[in-house]
Amino acid sequence: MDSSQAGAVVDDPLRRRHRPLDEADVNVAGHHLDGQQQQQPQHVFLQTPHLPPAAAGMPRRDRATNFHRAAKPRAAFAYAAIGICYLLMGIFVHQRTNSYPEPKNSDNSLPSEFREKNARRYLEQITSFGPRVSGSEAHVKAEQYILEVIQEINANKLSHNEVEVSIQTVSGGLTVDFVSAGMGEFSSVYQNLKNVIVKVAPPQGANSSLLVNCHYDTVIDSPGAGDDAASCAVMLEMLRVLTHSSVYIMHNIIFLFNGAEENMLQTSMASLQSIPGLPVSERLSI
């Protein structure tokens, strides 16, 4: 092999790599690209099944435009459905909020019916004294007010049921077991605490009693509307209804207004030991 042949062999790859493209090379590359373009649209059509068959022959930009146009009505329908749901929810809430029965008072109810206006008045008056810590001035005022309402109800009663009002003064002590909670035992001693007790009894008497309980004392930093003046207000109105009703009750109904429940249930525990009308077998032994 001479030097010209060796140079031709060595230089041939370089000439093929750097030589200008001729028409044959362009045709080969064009056929290769045509093959890729023919496969790519077929792949796109498989990924967009929502396009109609007529769109297969459209340019890609036209197909995308038609797809977005077809999606707009579906989006509008979804937004309209969501808006209708919110509208219906608003109508429902509005109807429920404004469909409560009209509160009863002396103008639209019988004397033997529960009157919300009376209970509201009792609640506002009790809470107007402020926090009613047992033994405080506000606590004493609340006790006097409850007694006044009870005496007024008893004086105006229309039913045949008997009403007995008493003030229970208790002294003693109790021990609460917190051992299971890891806190040991808690002892509490009290003296001259008071409960207001009202017993409503049928004329023929009864051997069993139903106890209804609330407390009008509070913690040091609360007017105690929910804990527990609201219950006291409801019990006062229930007492008024019972004393104005012609219905014969079959059992004694005892209304217990606790004076010191927040102090570790002091008067609550004491009242169950000695409450009038409550059978000894049903009393709590401490």
Q: Is 237 a catalytic residue?
A: no
Pairs from 138-145 (Cβ < 8 Å, separation ≥ 24): 139/216, 139/217, 139/259, 142/216, 142/217, 143/194, 143/196, 143/216, 143/259
Instruction: Report which secondary-structure segment, H or E, holds 254.
Output: strand 252-258
Which token pair is 209? 């009693």
- CA distance linking residue 40 with residue 163, whole number of Å: 96
- CA distance linking residue 187 with residue 173, whole number of Å: 7
- CA distance linking residue 194 with residue 143, whole number of Å: 9
Looking at 152, 261, 262, 282, which residue is catalytic? 261
**Number of C-beta neighbours around residue 129 at 10 A:** 22
The string of DSSP codes covering 17-54 is HHSPP-HHHHHHHHHHHHHHHHHHHHHHHHH-TTS-GG
The phi, psi pair for 237, rounded to 5°, reads -70, -35
- CA distance linking residue 51 with residue 42, whole number of Å: 13
- CA distance linking residue 213 with residue 233, whole number of Å: 12
> Looking at the annotation, which residues are catalytic?
261
